[in-house]
Amino acid sequence: MEVGNYSVGLDIGTTKIVAIIGKKNEYGKIEVLGIGKSKSLGVHRGVVNNITQTIKSIQQAVEEAELNSGLKIGSVVVGIAGQHIRSLQHSDYITRADSEEVINEDDLDTLCNQVYKLVMLPGEEIIHVLPQEYKVDGQAEIKEPIGMYGGRLEANFHVVVGQVSSIKNVGRCIKSAGLDLGNITLEPLASSDAVLSKEEKEAGVALIDIGGGTTDLAIFKDGIIRHTAVIPFGGGVITEDIKEGCSIIEKQAELLKIKFGSAWPGENKDNEIVSIPGLRGREPKEITLKNLSKIIHARVVEIIEQVYVEIKNYGHEEQKKKLIAGIVLTGGGSQLKHLKQLVEYITGMDTRIGYPNEHLAGDSDSEIASPLYATAVGLLMNAVQNEAKGVVDTDTDSAEETLEEEGELVMAGEESETIQRPKQKTERKSVFDKWSEKLKDFLDNAE
């Protein structure tokens, strides 16, 4: 089966691991060629805590995706989340040698790379440096400084930091599963690529991705990422509470939550009862749906309130920073009945459920457009984007020319890309190169 270039996103979650293969079709949409998922057994709250199990789960998901698509998976883009992620704001500047020259890509690179030299706490490493807006010679609020004149270039950055050991563990799992690590992306950023529209990012929006082990938050305003946070609670703690509160096993608790659970206790009648078979010949248990939704409600309120604290930390209550598009909920946890109403009630912000169909080709399988796959689809988009940067469109060149210009190949690819999205490029290149070299050294030494 001939499909040309294809890319792979791998979402290593707390409840499931998803490998998704796809490519860009002629309309610029993402066409999914194959998907594989497996139960995630070695991940706790977004952090790998059992490498052997995680490798097995990754291999299982990858094999299923390969079978589905008839393709071989080589390099993958992986998402990172977990309670060790934190973000901070930082300003930095460079003084240019010649203010008579226009500001170009290299100046932005120099500025971004300078931020990577920030001294972090022991055991932490910078994952992303995201420029917010620039200042040239004191002139503020410049979104795109390329082509301007100026001696002093400054920028505000949103810096995302994570724990080196957790990141290396993910790299180790990928390598041991026989894959190459293409790039590491923050999961809330990936989900927001898949779920949010350009208008929402302009107007101001908070994306809440409720996963099994963590709830990720990404806030956009004026089209720029302003705040990210990872809260170490998700759908898993709700199941845990049901298990404890009703004295049943986890599998039953999960099923109860999915089938009968609701985040709003008011709507269940007192006489609605579910009967659950007892263990090994014991009496069946009877659980009222009212109690079930009370348990769920209490925990969901706690999660939403924590997220709301983060939204307030960003400054949502200031007029200038108001999030006009409100909240978008995604991830498996967003499928809980009446969650939208509860979130609107607690935060007073407009809310919708986000499906990752914004950038998918029209004929995609409806299953993939479920909020469950938001992060996986976002990672796939990131992989496709990287693919486009690294390789020139060879349709226009003949094969011989391409071979001769091998040296300039990558450059040309980047140039064509820079015109449209310089920010992305600077951030990708530097993070990624530093990263892969470090990881590779580390993994080679470890063996």
Could you list the pLDDT tens digit for every one of the 447 residues in the chain?
A: 445 688 999 999 999 999 999 998 888 889 999 999 999 989 998 899 999 999 999 999 999 999 999 999 989 999 998 888 889 999 999 999 988 999 999 999 999 999 999 988 999 999 999 999 999 999 988 989 999 999 999 999 999 999 999 999 999 999 999 999 988 999 999 999 999 999 999 999 999 999 999 999 999 999 999 999 999 999 999 999 999 999 999 999 999 999 999 999 887 777 889 999 888 888 999 999 999 999 999 999 999 999 999 999 998 888 999 999 999 999 999 999 999 999 999 999 999 999 998 888 877 778 888 999 999 999 999 999 888 776 533 333 333 333 333 333 333 333 333 333 334 444 444 455 655 666 666 666 655
CA 246 remoteness from chain centre: 34
- For residue 30, give both structure tokens: 């993402």
The span from the CA of 267 to the CA of 290, in Å, is 8
Question: Alpha carbon of 78 to those of 30, 92, 123, 161, 230: distances in Å?
Answer: 18, 29, 21, 16, 16
CA 230 remoteness from chain centre: 11
- For residue 116, give both structure tokens: 């990577």
First-to-last CA distance in the chain?
A: 36
CA 279 remoteness from chain centre: 39
Determine whether 72 is exposed, middle or buried from the number of CB atoms within 10 Å of its CB (0-12, 13-18, 19+): exposed
HSE (side-chain half, CA atoms, 13 Å) at 332: 20
Q: Which domains does the chain have, with CATH numbers?
A: 1-84+162-196+358-447 (3.30.420.40), 235-299 (3.30.420.40)
* Residue 277: DSSP 8-state: P
**What is the amino acid identity at position 90?**
H
CA 436 remoteness from chain centre: 19
* Residue 337: DSSP 8-state: B
Are the C-beta atoms of 215 and 305 separated by less than 8 Å? no
The pTM score is 0.83
